[in-house]
Amino acid sequence: MAGVEKKIGGIEFGLMSPEMIRKLSQVRVVTPDTYDEDGYPIEGGLMDLHMGVIDPGLRCKTCGGNIATCPGHFGHIELVRPVIHVAYVKMIYMLLKVTCSKCGRLLIPPEELEEYKKIITGEKELDEDTALEIIERAKKVHTCPHCNAKQEEITLVKPTTFYEGGKRLFPTEIRRRLERIPDEDLRLLGINPEKARPEWAILTVLPVPPVQTRPSITLETGERSEDDLTHKLVDILRINQRLRDNIAAGAPQLIIEDLWDLLQYHVTTYFNNEVSGIPPARHRSGRPLKTLAQRLKGKEGRFRYNLSGKRVNFSARTVISPDPYLDINEVGVPQDVAKILTVPEKVTEWNIDKMKEFITNKEYPRAVYVIRPDGRRKMVTENNREAILEELAPGYTVERQLMDGDIVMFNRQPSLHRISMIGHIAKVLPGKTFRLHPNVCKPYNADFDGDEMNLHVPQTEESQAEVLHLMLVQKQIISPRYGGPIIYQDQDYITGAYLMTHKDTAFPKYITTKILAKAGIYKLPKPDKKVNGKPMWSGKLIFSQALPKKLNLEYPSRICVGKDNCEYFKKNGTCRGCPLDAWVRIENGELKEGVIDKISLQGILLDTIFREYGSEGAADFLNKTGKMFLEALMHKGFTASLDDTDIPEEAKKKVKEVLDKATEEVNKLIEKYRAGELERMPGKTVEDTLEDMIMAILGKARDDAGKIAAQYVNPDNQYLVMTRAGSRGNMLNFTQMSATVGQQAVRGKRILRGYKSKTLPHFKEGDIGVQARGFVYSSFRDGMSPIEYFFHAMGGREGLVDKGIRTAKSGYMQRRLINALQDFVVQPDLSVRDATGTIVQFKYGEDGADPMKCHGDDAVALRRMLLIEQKEYEELPEDESEEEGVLEEGSEGGDYE
């Protein structure tokens, strides 16, 4: 990087002097009124034409501009008596304390002062610590070392009233004292007297912002409604006038002081209406006024609302709903939305006929605007349609309505990672919702219980190309975080795959053709099975039609028990021909054996296809197989019903036995503990030891109960099928439904809260038995007893509370991380640098590997590459080398010298 061209060296803040305020002002405001009866701005009023114009037809008296051209100009109010600026109360208080009330010098003995001055006059800059040290030093002095005047204690009654030894200090006196402080003493306190003389913090003249800053709104009734700031300025002017009149009339001191305080109140709330200690100024309706500080502060303030975040055009938002018949790259856009969003298209000699057609069309898809080469924009209307058609030539731009195939961005908040915004291809559909392919829900974390999402239409060819080539759904299949698939098939898709590719699944011709047709495959393979003399097609054969032609892959499926536990492997020394169908073997794009389940669809198979056949291959695979799986599932039929949680009487008895035995065991353990015979485990108290042992016994009892239940049900039990295939649920879910819910816990311990030494009134004090501490014997199917139900609710509540706290915490942590890391970039030389070009890391991640392109934990999938190399070599016809680009994706990333 060649270095930054312009750098901000520093920003200087200072105070404005009264002279400066008057100089900037175009008019002195004296009248607390805005408009006269005719609605014309009053001269010398708050809407004076010297301060700019907001009414059409009028001209600014300062610059002569109209609404569009006049930038606005400041005015000023001469305050009869000075008032304190709230934002500088702290500084004023400090200065009054550290300087002499008579001579204005810093309350530090001359000798010490000389010492401190050396620091400043030398090359060393005054830092915050030294300034604070000086302040602390001066606060300790009670007699001025320069003029021997005794110093009274200064107190501050918030927000703006000062007392000296019990006597009120008025702003006039404060201002006089601040004026007396010499420049060099101020420098020692960290105040630059050229930019901020302290007496300037006591206002004698108040700037009035331009009318553009506080525009009045005209209601439909013709009534004018003024801005909050204008209201506040009216208040200030009124009190200022009353104060002036009273002083001129020689009113008693007390009345003048009251009015003075009132003026102070209005000026204070004009700056900040949330100052503690005084009631906020309110509108007639009771709503607190939004004054200067409130305009800037907080989430809805100028910074966070208008500067860090902006609203955009060419966007739409509505509810989402699923559509599995879409291509995964597509998003369904309602007609109503498509009619409003537009896409600019340049007219060339090749597309001019098409463009003319858009202009001719009176209905969708039509052209909305035409932009001439000189940048003039014209709306296409009934009247000028013919003229525009006549005029249209290459170089013009036509803004037409959104159509099928347009490139759009789709987004769901909270946008926590880059895949919260993905590129899609628009498909205009009837209805009022955005349609999303269910497989693409994962990266958005979307569901269809009422979620809304945003759509954006890129307006330039460059941005469209970027979205298409970098952001498109298929490019995001592999997560950049861990290099594995993040867009994949789940739930019904896996169940469907499992049932379809099951060993003895075969379909007759009419179903086979239907499944293939859904996937867009119109070539029927030769049948590979025969049942009752009729040709049949196995699910594996149908699935193979969607696999890339040259794919070779072998791996164990989810149901594989592992080589160490496998009788078949021990006997034959190979996994091929597995009797459980747990060995997946794909040869030349044909599924020879093995059942397709979660491991294939969310892991190795999808991953391999993406790496070797690119994002297009992977998208093709997801599209074709997805449609097959759903079709197959619908033909097979799949329902998990209440009956599937039923277990026979015999099994129930056995479950009860197991639980009773465990209860017995626990009771024995408790007895042993009571007798003091329980042996302590290292690092634990006896009580903790007992708890741990009880938890272990009860946990095991539940698992055993689950195993019994699973043994007694039909192996085709729908819940077990889902668990096996990996589509939804696990053994624990099944156990809790049909056998026993098991131990409930709060904070990882058995339930032990409630009453003194017991959890519920139904137990004896000190009962630490199985039931008394929240074990649920019943299953969900049988239903819980009231006591069990109560314990279960306690455990469930913890989960909810935890979830809420976790998301709030991690959200804030992430925000801080993003703020800290946002402009770090990996440079072409693989170094990581910040916006100024300073190096943060010499090689990204120290190895320069892109996790998205890594193969699991390895930067390069060497084994796989060698295998493919060998296969291709074997297949190579003599003297005809064929370069396949399939290695590209997997081999990039690692950069080893």
Partner 1 sequence: MADLDPEVILSHEYVPKHEILKDKDVEKLLEQYKIESKMQLPKILSSDPVVKAIKAKKGDVLKITRKSMTAGEAVYYRVVI
Q: Name the segment binding partner 1 (CB under 8 A); options: 73-81, 196-204, 592-600, 841-849.
A: 841-849
Which of 766/845 has CB closer to partner 1? 845
- In the bound complex, what is the minimum distance in angstroms from residue 894's beta carbon to partner 1? 10
What track of x and - describes contact with partner 1 for positions 2 through 21 (by CB under 8 A)?
-x------------------
Tell me if residue 482 falls in helix, strand or coil. Answer: coil
Query: What does each C-alpha distance from 462 to 355, 419, 420, 459 come to in angstroms?
Result: 21, 20, 21, 9
d(CA 632, CA 512): 9
Tell me if residue 266 falls in helix, strand or coil. Answer: helix
d(CA 242, CA 251): 11
From the DSSP assignment, how many helices (H) and strands (E) are in the chain? 27, 30
Number of alpha carbons in the 13 Å side-chain half-sphere of residue 190: 13
Which of 813/839 has CB closer to partner 1? 839
Q: Name the segment binding partner 1 (CB under 8 A); options: 137-145, 181-189, 196-204, 839-847.
A: 839-847
φ, ψ dihedrals at 356, nearest 5°: -60, -35
What track of x and - describes contact with partner 1 for positions 785 through 824 (by CB under 8 A)?
----------------------------------------
d(CA 848, CA 837): 18
Which of 711/836 has CB closer to partner 1? 836
Within 8 A by CB and 6+ apart from 167, the residues are: none
- In the bound complex, what is the minimum distance in angstroms from residue 91's beta carbon to partner 1? 33
Contact flag: residue 387 with partner 1 (CB under 8 A): no
Contact flag: residue 829 with partner 1 (CB under 8 A): yes
| One residue of 520, 648, 845, 856 binding partner 1 per CB under 8 A | 845
Contact flag: residue 37 with partner 1 (CB under 8 A): no
89-98 and 128-139 helices, crossing angle to 10°: 60
Contact flag: residue 839 with partner 1 (CB under 8 A): yes
Contact flag: residue 847 with partner 1 (CB under 8 A): yes
Query: What does each C-alpha distance from 848 to 418, 768, 824, 836, 858 come to in angstroms?
Result: 20, 57, 15, 21, 13
Number of alpha carbons in the 13 Å side-chain half-sphere of residue 260: 21
Characterize 829-856 residue by residue with b for buried, 16 or more Cβ atoms within 10 angstroms of its Cβ, and e for exposed. Answer: ebbbbeeeeeeeeeebeeebbbebbbbe
Which of 1/686 has CB closer to partner 1? 1
Number of alpha carbons in the 13 Å side-chain half-sphere of residue 792: 16
Question: Contacts with partner 1 in 155-194 (CB under 8 A)?
Answer: none
Contact flag: residue 852 with partner 1 (CB under 8 A): no
Q: Which residue has the tokens 């690119």?
A: 614
Q: Name the segment binding partner 1 (CB under 8 A); options: 112-120, 321-329, 702-710, 830-838.
A: 830-838
- In the bound complex, what is the minimum distance in angstroms from residue 846's beta carbon to partner 1? 4
Query: Which residue from 828, 844, 825 is spatially nearest to 836, judged by alpha carbons?
Result: 825
Query: Which residue from 515, 536, 514, 517 is spatially nearest to 527, judged by alpha carbons?
Result: 536
Which of 805/840 has CB closer to partner 1? 840
The two structure tokens encoding residue 552:
């070779």
Q: Which residue has the tokens 């008579």?
A: 102
Question: Contacts with partner 1 in 463-502 (CB under 8 A)?
Answer: none
Q: SS3 sequence, 719-784?
A: HHHHHHHCCCCCHHHHHHHHCCCEECEECCEECCCCECCECCCCCCCCCCCCHHHCEECCCCCCCC
Q: Name the segment binding partner 1 (CB under 8 A); options: 218-226, 286-294, 373-381, 831-839.
A: 831-839
Number of residues forming the site for partner 1 (CB under 8 A): 15
Which of 182/837 has CB closer to partner 1? 837
Chain Cα centroid distance, residue 739: 41
Which of 577/837 has CB closer to partner 1? 837
Contact flag: residue 838 with partner 1 (CB under 8 A): yes
| One residue of 182, 394, 837, 856 binding partner 1 per CB under 8 A | 837
Q: Name the segment binding partner 1 (CB under 8 A); options: 69-77, 81-89, 490-498, 834-842.
A: 834-842
Which of 414/845 has CB closer to partner 1? 845
Which of 111/129 has CB closer to partner 1? 129
| One residue of 24, 840, 866, 876 binding partner 1 per CB under 8 A | 840
- In the bound complex, what is the minimum distance in angstroms from residue 486's beta carbon to partner 1? 21
- In the bound complex, what is the minimum distance in angstroms from residue 822's beta carbon to partner 1? 19
Which of 12/846 has CB closer to partner 1? 846
- In the bound complex, what is the minimum distance in angstroms from residue 847's beta carbon to partner 1? 4
Pair 507, 542: CB distance under 8 Å: yes
- In the bound complex, what is the minimum distance in angstroms from residue 611's beta carbon to partner 1? 20
Identify the bridge partners of residue 453 per DSSP, sorted by sequence position.
318
Cis preceding linkage at 414, omega within 30: yes
Chain Cα centroid distance, residue 33: 47
Which of 179/829 has CB closer to partner 1? 829
| One residue of 843, 850, 865, 892 binding partner 1 per CB under 8 A | 843
Contact flag: residue 832 with partner 1 (CB under 8 A): no
Contact flag: residue 862 with partner 1 (CB under 8 A): no
The two structure tokens encoding residue 787:
């006591």
What track of x and - describes contact with partner 1 for positions 294 through 313 (by CB under 8 A)?
--------------------
Question: Contacts with partner 1 in 214-243 (CB under 8 A)?
Answer: none
Question: Contacts with partner 1 in 269-288 (CB under 8 A)?
Answer: none
Query: Which residue from 310, 235, 297 is spatially nearest to 267, judged by alpha carbons?
Result: 235
- In the bound complex, what is the minimum distance in angstroms from residue 836's beta carbon to partner 1? 7
| One residue of 341, 487, 751, 849 binding partner 1 per CB under 8 A | 849
Tell me which residues touch partner 1 (CB under 8 A).
1, 3, 829, 831, 836-840, 842-843, 845-847, 849
